[in-house]
Structure 1
Amino acid sequence: MADVIRVTFRLDAEGPAFTVKGRMAWALHELVHAGERGCTPIERPAPRWSHYIFLLRKKAGLAIETVDESHGGSYSGSHGRYVLRSPVQVIEEARR
């Protein structure tokens, strides 16, 4: 996992700044850097992606799309690809 521990951002240039910490900061960092491609728990493993996304939606007010994708292999099934749809301006990232 990246060593991002805090992200401060704005949803628009005039709006208030928001700060997220811990795993929410890590997930936001991953979403911002993934762009339109988005992120999946398969590509960027973490224990509770769906919860981080829930918190970013509810507590930070971010629009994040979940795209269902199928995958094969020994444990075939489906997973979500998370795509950040809110225009986010990152002001500061703190790292360990």
Structure 2
Amino acid sequence: MQIQVTLALSEQSRTFELKGRLGWAMVQLANAGAKGVTPIERPAPRWSGYVFDLREMGIPIATHLEPHEGSYPGTHARYVLSCDAKVDLLGQEASA
């Protein structure tokens, strides 16, 4: 998957391309909107790694910790994109 992302950051916008799992993660975040996404809802091997790499590129992503019950109670992360984003798929069909 290869996508083009345009972020609306305050008075300016920024456009760049992402591919592979980073592109997939960005699509998930953009589609989730203000609700955000958790690794429980959208399983993937390295959500924290994808978020780290996207933040390194200057993409504002907030992390909210949420409690969970079950056999292994504790907390999990909910990742929320902190700006408006327009995502366009380059050359193939998008799957979110």
Same fold (TM over 0.5): yes
Q: Give the distance between the partners of 2:26 and 2:17, measured in 1 at CA.
A: 11
Distance in 2 of aligned mates of 1:31 and 1:16: 17
User: Partner of 1:83 in structure 2?
Assistant: 80
Which residue of 2 is the match for residue 9 of structure 1? 5
In structure 1, what residue type is equivalent to 2:53?
A: L
Deviation of the 1:89 alpha carbon: 2.0
- TM (norm. structure 1) is 0.84
Give % identity: 46
* Structure 1: 4+ residue segments shifted above 2 A: 14-17
TM-score, length of structure 2 as denominator length: 0.84
Cα offset, 1:16, TM superposition: 4.5
Which 5+ residue runs of structure 2 have no aligned equivalent?
none
Q: How many angstroms apart in 1 are the aligned matches of 2:56 and 2:48?
A: 12
- Find the aligned partners of 1:73 and 1:58 in 2 and give their Cα distance: 33
SS across alignment from 2:49: helix
1:65 is matched with 62
Matched residue, 1:49? 47
Number of positions where the alignment pairs a residue of Structure 1 with one of Structure 2: 90
- TM-align CA RMSD: 1.8
Structure 1 stretches lacking a partner, 5+ long: none
